[in-house]
């Protein structure tokens, strides 16, 4: 993983993803100069997440989209968009939870904890993976959503009372995050189709490379 982290970018996809990482570094510097320690910690968390993704053998386009989504979610918090735009948190929860759940699954697959989303020569195994992958990604997404809501509760209780919490907000965020994770899991599960099935369906490998 260290070698993958330190390698030079090659190809448009890798340059795009690394440009997003550089943007995150600039965001962290801006937080250090003009914002508070909570915002600095937030961008450090985002930076850690997008550095981990560089170590994985995945589509660099997805890598870049993942990083941009996390940055958008972080800046939305820093600029208080969640309070200014009442509906903004739902699409952010939908998109961010989806990409985080998919990336978490790919990391666990890299560590051997879950099956890799790739075609299998064993009869019936690819079909089983196409079912199991979305279910596991959904479970990961719901877990991420719960942790996110716990973070919002902690922030409201101990950092800033203006952070929006409440039953309706929490349920809406969990539903949006779960839906995003389910769609991400379905897209990731397409990588488990046998090659001829993927060609017939015209499916593209969005999240992982063969």
Per the listing, tokens 């937030």 go with 42
What whole-number distance in Å separates Cα of residue 191 and Cα of residue 206? 8
Residue pair 101/141 in contact by the 8 Å Cβ criterion:
yes
pLDDT of residue 112: 92
Rounded to whole angstroms, what are the CA distances from 93 to 14, 90, 105?
A: 26, 5, 18
pTM exceeding the 0.85 threshold for the entire prediction: yes
Residue pair 126/192 in contact by the 8 Å Cβ criterion:
yes
Residue 203 has pLDDT above 50, yes or no: no
Phi, psi (rounded to 5 degrees) for 208: -135, 150
81 or 190, which is more confident? 81
Angle value at C-alpha 161, between 158 and 167, nearest 5 degrees: 100
pLDDT tens digits, residue range 160-186? 777 778 899 899 999 999 999 999 999
What whole-number distance in Å separates Cα of residue 54 and Cα of residue 193? 25
Find the range with the poorest average confidence among 100-104, 158-162, 179-183, 203-207.
203-207
């Amino acid at each position: 993983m260290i070698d993958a982290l330190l390698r030079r970018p090659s190809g448009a996809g890798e340059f795009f993803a690394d440009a997003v990482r550089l943007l995150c570094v600039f965001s962290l510097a801006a937080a250090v100069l003009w914002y508070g320690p909570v915002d600095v910690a937030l961008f450090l968390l985002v930076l850690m997440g997008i550095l981990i993704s560089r170590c994985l053998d995945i589509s660099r386009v997805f890598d870049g989209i993942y990083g941009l989504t996390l940055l958008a979610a972080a800046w939305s918090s820093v600029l208080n968009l969640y309070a200014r735009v009442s509906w903004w948190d739902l699409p952010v929860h939908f998109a961010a939870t989806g990409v985080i759940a998919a990336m978490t699954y790919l990391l666990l697959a890299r560590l051997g904890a879950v099956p890799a989303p790739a075609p299998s020569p064993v009869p019936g195994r690819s079909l089983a993976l196409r079912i199991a992958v979305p279910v596991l990604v959904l479970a990961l997404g719901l877990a991420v959503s719960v942790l996110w809501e716990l973070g919002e509760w902690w922030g409201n209780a101990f950092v800033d009372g203006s952070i929006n919490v409440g039953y309706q907000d929490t349920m809406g965020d969990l539903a949006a995050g779960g839906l995003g994770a389910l769609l991400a899991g379905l897209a990731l599960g397409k990588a488990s189709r046998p090659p001829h099935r993927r060609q017939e369906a015209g499916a593209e490998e969005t999240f992982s490379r063969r």
